[in-house]
């Protein structure tokens, strides 16, 4: 596979697809988007316009470089890279990738934003070139959060992985490559581990929903936004680093692991969680909350960019 990527097909323009489209446009790329839902084009253009003031467009970037087609194959036909964001349903994915594979040039990477379906399964829809299929899973919202997980499947070529990784990097993302296919990839599995214990703490009456949110957002979450769990743990060990932490705190950590909860997500627990969030957010404007969140994230990212943080 070779060639410069100038035109991206964004297939599926819901929350994730619209965010991807805005990011690609801000990086000066041409975007042809596709979604069969009624009113999809109007919603997409409105979403891009809403995201635009918060982006840092390169010279020549403009939302006017957005085109729309209701036909996914037509969008892929003229693209140099395809970012698919359709429903998390196996039957829909396979049919969609069959159409994309038939339409796109052989040198074009077909990337899926899927958070649950594995690339080897998705590639089964591609009779022509399954070797160009990868999962390129972003973290929501893609136009703000840099992470993207690049996951190859059984048939994926090394060239496709390298091309996808290089493209995401050029688009301002921070890609990581997975060495194995796992449902949920890496970031969602780490989230799921935290959610599991958070749900269990609520279920056992240890703490309220609001208190658990404070415990993370005003505690370790602040450090995790700067450095990852391993480096943070290393720094907490002083001169001895991670080796000191493991020697002195390893056994207590293992004890905690054995005591972690195993909650059952019953309707009753779900109701308690929903009610807890409603109580925590009572009186707050959710649109303002999202805007404030994204503003803080952008400030943090800008601050990190001026450092040697890994």
Would you say 61 and 25 are in contact if contact means Cβ atoms under 8 Å apart? yes
Q: Is the pLDDT of residue 2 over 50?
A: no
Same domain membership, residue 91 and residue 137: yes
Same domain membership, residue 50 and residue 152: yes
Q: Which residue has the higher pLDDT, 4 or 43?
A: 43
Find the mean pLDDT for residues 58-68: 97
What is the average pLDDT score of the chain?
Answer: 96
Same domain membership, residue 301 and residue 246: yes
What pLDDT digit, counting tens, does each position of 272-310 carry?
999 999 999 999 999 999 999 999 999 999 999 999 999
Q: 143, 177, 211 — which closes off a domain?
A: 177
Instruction: List, in order, residues 6 or more apart from 282 with CB less than 8 Å away.
Output: none
Same domain membership, residue 154 and residue 291: no
Instruction: List, in order, residues 6 or more apart from 120 with CB less than 8 Å away.
Output: 153, 154, 155, 181
What pLDDT digit, counting tens, does each position of 146-165 carry?
999 999 999 999 999 999 99
Q: State the DSSP H helix or E strand holding residue 31, giving kind and residue range, or none if neither.
A: strand 30-34
Q: How many domains would you assign to the chain?
A: 2
Q: Does residue 1 belong to any structural domain of this protein?
A: no
Q: What's the pLDDT at 155?
A: 96
Same domain membership, residue 287 and residue 246: yes
Lowest average pLDDT, out of 1-10, 116-125, 166-175, 225-234, goes to 1-10
* pTM for the predicted model, two decimal places: 0.94
Buried/exposed code over 102-111 (b: 16+ C-beta within 10 A; e: otherwise): ebbeeebbbb
Same domain membership, residue 198 and residue 111: no
Same domain membership, residue 267 and residue 196: yes
| CATH number of the domain to which 232 belongs | 1.10.1040.10
Same domain membership, residue 99 and residue 239: no
What pLDDT digit, counting tens, does each position of 214-270 carry?
999 999 999 999 999 999 999 999 999 999 999 999 999 999 999 999 999 999 999
Instruction: List, in order, residues 6 or more apart from 94 with CB less than 8 Å away.
Output: 121, 122, 124, 125
Q: Does residue 249 belong to any structural domain of this protein?
A: yes
Same domain membership, residue 213 and residue 172: no
Structural domain harbouring 203: 187-305
Q: 147, 177, 207 — which closes off a domain?
A: 177
- Verify cis geometry, omega within 30 degrees of 0, for the bond prior to 22: no
Retrieve residue 70's tokens.
């209701």
Q: 145, 177, 209 — which closes off a domain?
A: 177
Q: Is the pLDDT of residue 75 over 80?
A: yes
| CATH number of the domain to which 134 belongs | 3.40.50.720
Would you say 32 and 2 are in contact if contact means Cβ atoms under 8 Å apart? no
Count of C-beta atoms within a 10 Å radius of residue 13: 25
Retrieve residue 286's tokens.
């959710």
- If you count them, how many residues does the chain have? 310
Q: What's the pLDDT at 3?
A: 66
Same domain membership, residue 108 and residue 35: yes
CA distance 130 to 190: 29
Same domain membership, residue 139 and residue 43: yes
Q: Where are the alpha helices (DSSP H) in the chain?
A: 15-26, 40-51, 72-77, 90-103, 119-122, 158-170, 187-203, 209-217, 220-224, 229-235, 241-259, 267-281, 286-305
Retrieve residue 306's tokens.
């001026």
Q: Does residue 310 belong to any structural domain of this protein?
A: no
Would you say 128 and 98 are in contact if contact means Cβ atoms under 8 Å apart? no
- The proportion of the chain whose per-residue pLDDT surpasses 70, expressed as a percent, equals 99
Q: Does residue 172 belong to any structural domain of this protein?
A: yes
Same domain membership, residue 58 and residue 140: yes
């Amino acid at each position: 596979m070779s060639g410069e990527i100038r035109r991206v097909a964004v297939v599926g323009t819901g929350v994730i697809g619209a965010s991807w489209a805005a990011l690609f446009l801000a990086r000066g790329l041409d975007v042809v988007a596709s979604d069969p839902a009624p009113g999809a084009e109007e919603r997409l253009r409105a979403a891009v316009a809403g995201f635009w003031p918060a982006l840092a467009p390169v010279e020549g970037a403009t939302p006017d470089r957005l085109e729309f087609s209701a036909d996914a194959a037509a969008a892929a036909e003229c693209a140099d890279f395809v970012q698919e964001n359709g429903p998390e349903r196996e039957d829909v994915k396979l049919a969609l990738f069959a159409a994309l594979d038939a339409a796109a040039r052989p040198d074009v990477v077909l990337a899926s934003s899927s958070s649950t379906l594995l690339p080897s399964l998705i590639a089964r829809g591609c009779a022509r070139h399954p070797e160009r299929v990868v999962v390129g899973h972003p973290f929501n919202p893609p136009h703000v959060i840099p992470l993207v997980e690049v996951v190859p499947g059984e048939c994926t070529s090394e060239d496709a992985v390298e091309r996808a990784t290089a493209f995401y990097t050029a688009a301002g993302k921070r890609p990581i490559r997975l060495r194995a296919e796992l449902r949920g990839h890496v970031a969602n599995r780490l989230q799921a581990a935290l959610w599991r214990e958070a749900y269990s703490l609520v279920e056992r009456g240890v703490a309220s929903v609001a208190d658990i949110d404070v415990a993370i957002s005003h505690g370790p979450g602040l450090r995790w936004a700067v450095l990852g769990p391993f480096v943070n743990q290393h720094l907490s060990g002083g001169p001895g680093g991670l080796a000191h932490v493991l020697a002195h705190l390893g056994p207590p950590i293992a004890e905690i692991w054995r005591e972690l909860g195993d909650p059952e997500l019953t309707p009753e627990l779900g109701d308690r969680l929903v009610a807890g969030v409603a109580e925590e957010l009572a009186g707050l404007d959710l649109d303002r909350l999202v805007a404030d969140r994204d503003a803080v994230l952008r400030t943090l990212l800008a601050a990190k960019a001026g450092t040697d943080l890994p």
